[in-house]
């Protein structure tokens, strides 16, 4: 029995230069965008809206955004853009009604480039003049533009085999009956030959997908032709249109988010039993970004300074040439230890991750999760068969509803961890969450603080009343995020960074707008239902003493302001410009450095080097 028939545990992020791995070509995707350019595509999507928002505009905009995302996310994938029902023709087979868009120094099917994307963004302005639009299937003619388009797309995908690359054709159209203008035997013959052409492509391992463009006033009818071409029937046909509608919205919205692949930061040997170990890849899903350590440069050569440490004999004053001998005093005697002996004493475990046992989820509490977890995924780099063992363990943990307890850490920081199996989550748009295990770092007993209830008055109870609990539950239901996933939110800093790169590469006059989705939803919080639930919760908790609570908050604010005023006063006693120019900031204490940061409303967190770096950055040094 094949443990992983869908190959969902394959690691696509491993180093492609490693001899143990497949080449990057094995995960390459070859995509042909097949876009209908008939006159019907140039009609407005909704009556009364701007006429520029046509079906053709929606299709071109989505493809353009997809290319901009792909060039950063998976730049090694190859794409081609093919229009059919065109006046001009440009393709390898010289077929009528088919135009393959391309730029110089690039093959028809190739990686997207900045010039390719830039020219494609301006294609819509000159499309009618240079390429043109016309119906390719007309009464009295044997021309079949859809047949020609499928043939041209299949020819573009001729490179590589289906075993080394995923080949796809994405057909975008708003015409549900491409042969509606012809009748009788001619129509049946055209439908038969086109279906056969699609089947031939599918037999070669090419996946044909359809993105139908609908509008509120027009519903795409799959049963006229495309259901037969895609092999849809029954429930699959009934669910196709809703899923494609959601997919179109995802395509317009989600493609603006750079959904980057998680990069492995280390390999871990997982010891399951005596003599049985597998290899895992560890991925940091969330990692804080902190300033790098300060690099001191020579004032003349501008080269990094090297720090050297020498030991001087206290008796003779001479430099100690031999390595220092370490010792431990025991019963008035100095026991000398070698470096290897000390290393062996410090080593607690032979491997970095060792399985100890399994426990039910009732033993794992929310407060045990002290910091962001690490995601584990099997790797075949060094230990062949790791994936099969990992899948067997993963499935057993899901079936028995258990989590694993393991030892993890180095000699300086040993600790226990919980391994929680995560099943794959997919929807109509693809994979949302991958299968694997989350490694949660468990706390020591000293890390858990037991809350002590302080009773100031015996007549006063700190327990919430039933009414307060009810109001709190109502409020939580109002602001609950349904189907929450961290993948729904993009990193605004990365989005801004890649928006700048895009603007520079494409020579755009304005930087693309970046929406920070991590900010609070002020519009959602202002809904009447949320506002009323919040006010009822406040009233149930504070009652008539709500104003007194506000006065306490104001008092705390006044204390913070007093601290800030004192820091500003102390700040004036230092010549910060001179300290920075003469590299004397490092001579100040952390409290003194915070005078500057407080005076300029800068963050106060971090070590001394981080504070100095923050000050120099603010002073533009």
Distance in angstroms (rounded) separating the CA atoms of residues 378 and 423 = 14
pLDDT at 430 over 70: no
Q: Which residue has the tokens 């026991």?
A: 335
Distance in angstroms (rounded) separating the CA atoms of residues 140 and 279 = 66
The whole-model pTM stands at 0.53
Q: How far apart are the first and last CA of the chain?
A: 64
- Chain segment 552-588, per-residue pLDDT in tens: 666 667 777 777 888 888 888 888 888 888 888 888 8
Q: Which residue has the tokens 């300060």?
A: 294
Burial tier of 253 (Cβ tally within 10 Å: 0-12, 13-18, 19+): exposed
Q: Is residue 27 very low, low, confident or very high in pLDDT (cuts 50, 70, 90)? A: low
Instruction: Quote the pLDDT of residue 357.
Output: 93
- Chain segment 360-392, per-residue pLDDT in tens: 999 998 888 878 888 999 988 788 889 999 999
- Chain segment 469-527, per-residue pLDDT in tens: 999 999 888 887 776 666 667 778 878 888 888 888 787 777 777 778 788 888 888 88
- Chain segment 327-344, per-residue pLDDT in tens: 888 888 888 888 778 877
- Chain segment 86-100, per-residue pLDDT in tens: 999 999 888 989 999
* Alpha-carbon dihedral sign for residues 39, 41, 44, 46: positive
- Chain segment 127-175, per-residue pLDDT in tens: 998 999 888 887 777 788 899 999 999 999 887 665 567 888 999 998 8
Share of the chain above pLDDT 70, in %: 80
Closest CA to 44 of 210, 218, 207, 279: 218
Instruction: Quote the pLDDT of residue 400.
Output: 94
pLDDT at 21 over 70: no
Query: In the predicted model, what is the mean pLDDT of residues 314-336?
Result: 83
- Under a CB-based contact definition with an 8 Å cutoff, are residues 327 and 334 in contact? yes
Distances (CA, A) of 259 to 69, 373, 432, 451, 519: 8, 19, 11, 41, 19
Distances (CA, A) of 383 to 12, 186, 389, 435: 17, 61, 11, 20
Query: Could you give all domains of the chain from N- to C-terminal order, each with its CATH number?
Result: 25-254 (3.40.50.410), 353-447 (2.40.290.10), 464-544 (1.10.1600.10)
Structure tokens at 13: 């992020």
Which regions of 174-231 does DSSP assign to beta strands (E)?
206-212
Instruction: Quote the pLDDT of residue 550.
Output: 60
pLDDT at 434 over 70: yes
Query: In the predicted model, what is the mean pLDDT of residues 118-122?
Result: 88
Distance in angstroms (rounded) separating the CA atoms of residues 46 and 16 = 48
Distance in angstroms (rounded) separating the CA atoms of residues 89 and 155 = 15
Instruction: Quote the pLDDT of residue 20.
Output: 31
Instruction: Quote the pLDDT of residue 547.
Output: 60
pLDDT at 322 over 80: no
Q: Is residue 13 very low, low, confident or very high in pLDDT (cuts 50, 70, 90)? A: very low
Which DSSP string do the residues of 583-608 spell out, in sequence order? T-GGGS-HHHHHHHHHHTT----S-H
Structure tokens at 171: 């057909």
Q: Where are the alpha helices (DSSP H) in 483-521?
A: 492-505
* Alpha-carbon dihedral sign for residues 356, 361, 367, 370: positive
Length of the chain, in residues: 621
Distances (CA, A) of 245 to 175, 216, 295: 15, 11, 53
How many C-beta atoms lie closer than 10 Å to residue 268's C-beta?
Answer: 17
Q: Is residue 250 very low, low, confident or very high in pLDDT (cuts 50, 70, 90)? A: low
Distance in angstroms (rounded) separating the CA atoms of residues 495 and 514 = 6
* Distance, CA of 601 to chain centre: 32
pLDDT at 117 over 70: yes
Query: Residues near 138 by Cβ (< 8 Å), separated by ≥ 6?
Result: 181, 182
């Amino acid at each position: 029995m094949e443990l992983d028939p869908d190959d969902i545990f394959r690691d696509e992020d491993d180093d492609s230069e490693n001899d143990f791995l497949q080449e990057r070509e094995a995960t390459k995707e070859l995509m042909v965008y097949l876009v209908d350019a008939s006159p019907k595509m140039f009609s407005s999507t909704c009556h009364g809206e701007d006429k520029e928002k046509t079906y053709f505009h929606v299709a071109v905009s989505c493809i353009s955004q997809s290319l901009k995302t792909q060039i950063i996310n998976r730049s090694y994938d190859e794409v081609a853009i093919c229009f059919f029902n065109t006046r001009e023709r440009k393709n390898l087979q010289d077929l009528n009604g088919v135009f393959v868009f391309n730029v110089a120094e690039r093959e028809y099917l190739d990686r997207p480039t900045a010039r390719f994307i830039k020219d494609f963004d301006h294609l819509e302005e000159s499309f009618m003049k240079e390429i043109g639009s016309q119906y390719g299937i007309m009464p009295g003619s044997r021309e079949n533009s859809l047949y020609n388009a499928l043939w041209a797309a299949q020819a573009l995908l001729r490179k590589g085999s289906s075993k080394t690359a995923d080949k796809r054709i994405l057909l975008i159209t708003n015409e549900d009956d491409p042969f509606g203008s012809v009748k009788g035997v001619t129509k049946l013959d055209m439908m038969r030959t086109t279906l056969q052409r699609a089947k031939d492509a599918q037999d070669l391992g090419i996946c044909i997908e359809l993105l139908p463009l609908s509008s509120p006033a027009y519903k795409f009818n799959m049963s006229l032709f495309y259901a037969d071409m895609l092999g849809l029937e029954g429930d699959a046909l009934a669910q196709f249109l809703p899923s494609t509608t959601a997919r179109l919205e995802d395509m317009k919205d989600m493609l603006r988010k750079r959904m980057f692949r998680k990069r492995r930061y280390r390999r871990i040997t997982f010891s399951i039993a005596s003599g049985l170990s597998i290899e895992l890849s560890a991925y940091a899903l969330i990692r804080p970004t902190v300033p790098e350590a300060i690099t001191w440069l020579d004032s003349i050569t501008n080269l990094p300074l090297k720090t050297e440490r020498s030991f001087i004999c206290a008796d003779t004053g001479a430099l100690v040439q031999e390595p220092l001998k370490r010792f431990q005093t025991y019963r008035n005697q100095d026991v000398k230890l070698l470096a290897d002996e000390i290393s062996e004493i410090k080593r607690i475990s032979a491997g970095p991750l060792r399985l100890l046992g399994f426990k039910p989820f009732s033993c794992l509490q929310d407060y045990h999760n002290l910091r962001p977890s690490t995601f584990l995924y099997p790797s075949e780099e060094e230990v062949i068969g790791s994936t099969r063992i990992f899948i067997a363990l993963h499935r057993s943990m899901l079936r028995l509803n258990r989590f694993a307890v393991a030892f993890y850490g180095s000699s300086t920081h040993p600790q226990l961890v919980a391994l929680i199996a995560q099943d794959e989550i997919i929807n109509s748009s693809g994979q949302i969450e991958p299968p694997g295990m989350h490694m949660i770092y468990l706390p020591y007993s000293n890390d858990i603080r037991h809350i002590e209830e302080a009773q100031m008055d015996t007549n006063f109870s700190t327990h919430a009343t039933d009414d307060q609990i009810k109001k709190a539950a109502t409020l939580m239901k109002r602001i609950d995020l349904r189907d929450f996933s961290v993948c729904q939110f993009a990193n605004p800093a990365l989005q801004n960074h890649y928006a700048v790169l895009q603007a520079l590469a494409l020579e755009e006059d304005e930087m693309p707008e970046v929406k920070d989705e991590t900010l609070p939803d002020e519009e959602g919080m202002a809904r009447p239902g949320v506002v009323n639930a919040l006010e009822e919760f406040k009233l149930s908790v504070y009652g008539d003493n709500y104003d007194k609570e506000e006065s306490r908050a104001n008092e705390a604010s006044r204390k913070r302001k007093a601290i800030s005023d004192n820091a500003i006063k102390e700040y004036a006693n230092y010549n910060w410009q001179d300290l920075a120019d003469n590299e004397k900031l490092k001579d100040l204490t952390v409290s003194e450095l915070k005078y500057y940061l407080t005076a300029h409303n800068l963050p106060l967190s971090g070590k001394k080097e981080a504070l100095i770096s923050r000050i120099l950055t603010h002073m533009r040094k």
